[in-house]
Structure 1
Amino acid sequence: MATKSKAASSVSPTAQSTPASDTVLRVTQLRSGIGCKQNQRQTLLALGLRKIRQTRDWPDTPQVRGMIHTVRHLVAVEEVEPS
């Protein structure tokens, strides 16, 4: 029977979901998801983008960065300081 290593168990389950900094990413949809792959359309919806020129602010986390990378050809991203 294999046991878990001490290093793997000491990592917090929320370590990657906490923001790395106070930076906020402003994501704006520039192009339509029509004709794109299913996962790209679903990623736009998960980001809260349903219309062109719609903007949402998201904390700068690895998960959000990955979602933005999936639809990088459809959106524009800018870093803003939280208000």
Structure 2
Amino acid sequence: MAIKIKLVKSFSGSSEDIVSSIRGLGLKKFGDERILKDTPSIRGIVFKVKHLVTSEKVSQEAPAPKRRKPRKIVARDRARAKAAKG
């Protein structure tokens, strides 16, 4: 099970902890939607910002988060590939 969360109101002028909660859910701008795993911690964050978001249960599974390399590792790998090429 998963929860589909959509930002339906602007969070401009909100307190810093509300803004950080919205960012923690992965919502960046008005109208953004995310499908997240249904856990008690996610439900708590949604409850905290329920005046700004809508939420509904969906039957599909939440996608696994993509792992990204740190920026300096990506730059290092590019530099090594460029040096090996030329």
TM-score (norm 1): 0.70
1:43 aligned partner: 21
Once residues 29 and 12 of structure 2 are traced to their aligned partners in structure 1, the CA distance between those partners, rounded to angstroms, is: 11
Once residues 69 and 36 of structure 1 are traced to their aligned partners in structure 2, the CA distance between those partners, rounded to angstroms, is: 15
Sequence identity, in percent?
30
Amino acid at match of 1:30: V
**Pairing partner for 1:53 from 20, 27, 31:** 31
Task: Give runs of aligned pairs for residues 1-83 of structure 1, distance below 5 A.
Answer: 23-82=1-60
TM-score (norm 2): 0.68
Larger of the two Rg values belongs to structure: 2
Once residues 15 and 22 of structure 2 are traced to their aligned partners in structure 1, the CA distance between those partners, rounded to angstroms, is: 11
Gaps in structure 2 of 5+ consecutive residues: 62-86
Once residues 32 and 63 of structure 1 are traced to their aligned partners in structure 2, the CA distance between those partners, rounded to angstroms, is: 22
* Partner deviation per Cα, 1:34-75 (whole Å, 9 max, x = no partner): 111110000000101011110000111000000101110000
Once residues 70 and 35 of structure 1 are traced to their aligned partners in structure 2, the CA distance between those partners, rounded to angstroms, is: 16
Aligned residues: 61
